[in-house]
């Protein structure tokens, strides 16, 4: 058997950098796998990209009482989002779109939103305002169709907390179906890996400290799993001396105010993606009490409370699933 050789693809995608690495014993097989993954990613971006106003999820306009037919991929993504809403007791909520919109505008202008706009946005958030109408597709009985009905005008779905994970998982399966087992897909730090590279116990994945100048915290060796890091290192704003993260706590209706970073490890990228977001919103203490309920194997949490007059020291916690 020929030894496995490394092949790499790097390109801009979804406003960040996409990286694919595969090991194959034949160059055509490597290119075939990479092409399969790229084709799947390019197919899904126009469906799930919340930052593209022409995407399917962005074009979902809430009309009270009118069913909205969803593509299979968007329907499945929303099913995962609803699952994580229940797992996290509301800390992860894809209906948070109206609040995301209000606070995104605040970050652009550097001013807090008005109480009126906040209250209006809060009134449009919650899965209790969404009715599922899922059924078998008459045109193809093997396919399940999805429709939703919104209870209020102005509701918006925000799948940015798990869409990248869904896209990675779909691309990963397409690449594996082409005959590759040793591979890595990385979209802006959302990573899924297969078997370990030749001569290694796993893929090297770095976990950074809490801050751009902070030293490397840990280097992990991972195989057959996914890891996502979420936090406010690059996406926050300070208004009147208060730091507001881009992450919204749907339960409070406003941004998280802790400085933090969470790296979540799971079997799939969609669970690592949603899990990292949920743990960030929950915070270190609540995350520790709820961790065993989540489909995560590990989580590395860094947190600093900035509410006091002087910032506290950075706290660290490494959560691991208890093996019976």
- How would residue 161 be classed by pLDDT, with cut points 50, 70 and 90? very high
DSSP designation for 142 = E
227-260 pLDDT, tens digit per residue, is: 999 987 667 888 888 888 889 999 999 999 888 8
Name the nearest CA neighbour of 95 among 71, 123, 125.
125
Please give the C-alpha separations between residue 62 and each of 152, 158, 188, 282, in angstroms, as whole numbers: 7, 13, 30, 28
Name the nearest CA neighbour of 198 among 23, 16, 7.
23
What is the Cα–Cα distance from 90 to 278, expressed in whole angstroms? 9
User: Has residue 142 got a pLDDT over 70?
Assistant: no
3-state secondary structure of 11: strand
Any alpha helices (H) in the chain, and if so which ranges? 27-48, 72-87, 97-109, 115-122, 163-177, 269-290
What is the Cα–Cα distance from 12 to 33, expressed in whole angstroms? 19
Q: Looking at the domain 57-157, which fold is it?
A: T-fold (1.10.3980)
What is the Cα–Cα distance from 87 to 287, expressed in whole angstroms? 12
- The mean per-residue pLDDT over the stretch 304-320 comes to 78
| Diameter over CA atoms, the chain | 68
Range 206-209 contact pairs with CB under 8 angstroms and sequence separation of 24 or more: 207/263, 207/300, 208/233, 208/261, 209/302, 209/314
Higher pLDDT, 73 or 231: 73
pTM score: 0.94
**CA geometry: angle 188, 190, 191, nearest 5 deg:** 115
Query: Cβ neighbours of residue 30 under 8 Å, at least 6 residues apart?
Result: 5, 7, 22, 23, 24, 180
- Asked if domains 1-51+160-197 and 201-324 share a fold, the reply is yes
Token reading at 269: 């990228």
What is the residue-averaged pLDDT of the chain? 92
Out of 210-219, 255-264, 286-295, the most confident range is 286-295
**The domain 201-324 belongs to what CATH superfamily?**
ApbE-like domains (3.10.520.10)
Q: State residue 121's pLDDT score.
A: 96
DSSP designation for 153 = T
User: Which stretch of DSSP H or E encloses residue 7?
Assistant: strand 5-13
User: Has residue 153 got a pLDDT over 60?
Assistant: yes
User: Has residue 90 got a pLDDT over 90?
Assistant: yes
Which CATH code for domain 1-51+160-197?
A: 3.10.520.10
The domain limits of the chain are: 1-51+160-197, 57-157, 201-324
What is the Cα–Cα distance from 62 to 157, expressed in whole angstroms? 9
3-state secondary structure of 167: helix
Q: State residue 165's pLDDT score.
A: 98
User: Has residue 166 got a pLDDT over 90?
Assistant: yes
Q: State residue 305's pLDDT score.
A: 75
Token reading at 40: 């799947």
């Amino acid at each position: 058997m020929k030894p496995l050789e490394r092949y790499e693809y790097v390109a801009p995608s979804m406003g960040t950098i996409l990286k694919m690495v595969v090991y194959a014993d034949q160059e055509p097989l490597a290119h075939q796998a990479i092409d399969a993954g790229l084709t799947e990613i390019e197919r899904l971006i126009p469906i799930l990209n919340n930052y593209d106003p022409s995407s399917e999820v962005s074009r979902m306009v809430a009309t009270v009482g009118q069913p909205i037919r969803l593509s299979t991929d968007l329907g499945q993504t929303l099913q995962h989002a609803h699952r994580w809403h229940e797992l996290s007791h509301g800390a992860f909520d894809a209906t948070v779109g109206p609040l995301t919109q209000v606070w995104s505008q605040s970050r652009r202008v550097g001013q807090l939103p008005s109480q009126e706009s906040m209250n209006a946005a809060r009134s449009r958030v919650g899965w209790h305002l969404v009715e599922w109408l899922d059924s078998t597709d008459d045109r193809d009985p093997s396919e399940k169709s999805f429709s939703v009905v919104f209870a209020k005008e102005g509701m918006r779905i925000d799948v940015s907390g798990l869409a990248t994970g869904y896209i990675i998982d779909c691309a990963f399966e397409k690449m594996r179906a082409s005959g590759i087992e040793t591979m890595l897909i990385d979209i802006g730090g959302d990573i899924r890996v297969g078997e370990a590279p030749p001569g290694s116990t796993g893929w090297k994945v770095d976990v950074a400290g809490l801050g751009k100048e902070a030293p490397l915290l840990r280097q992990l060796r991972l195989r057959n799993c996914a890891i996502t890091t979420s936090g406010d290192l690059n996406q926050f704003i300070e208004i009147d001396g208060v730091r507001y993260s881009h992450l919204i706590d749907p339960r409070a209706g406003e941004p998280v105010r802790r400085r933090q970073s969470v790296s979540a490890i799971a079997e799939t990228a969609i669970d690592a993606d949603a899990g990292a977001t949920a743990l960030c919103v929950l915070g270190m203490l609540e995350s520790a009490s709820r961790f065993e309920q989540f489909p995560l194997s590990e989580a590395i949490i860094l947190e600093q409370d900035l509410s006091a007059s002087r910032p506290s020291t950075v706290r660290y916690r490494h959560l691991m699933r208890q093996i019976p």
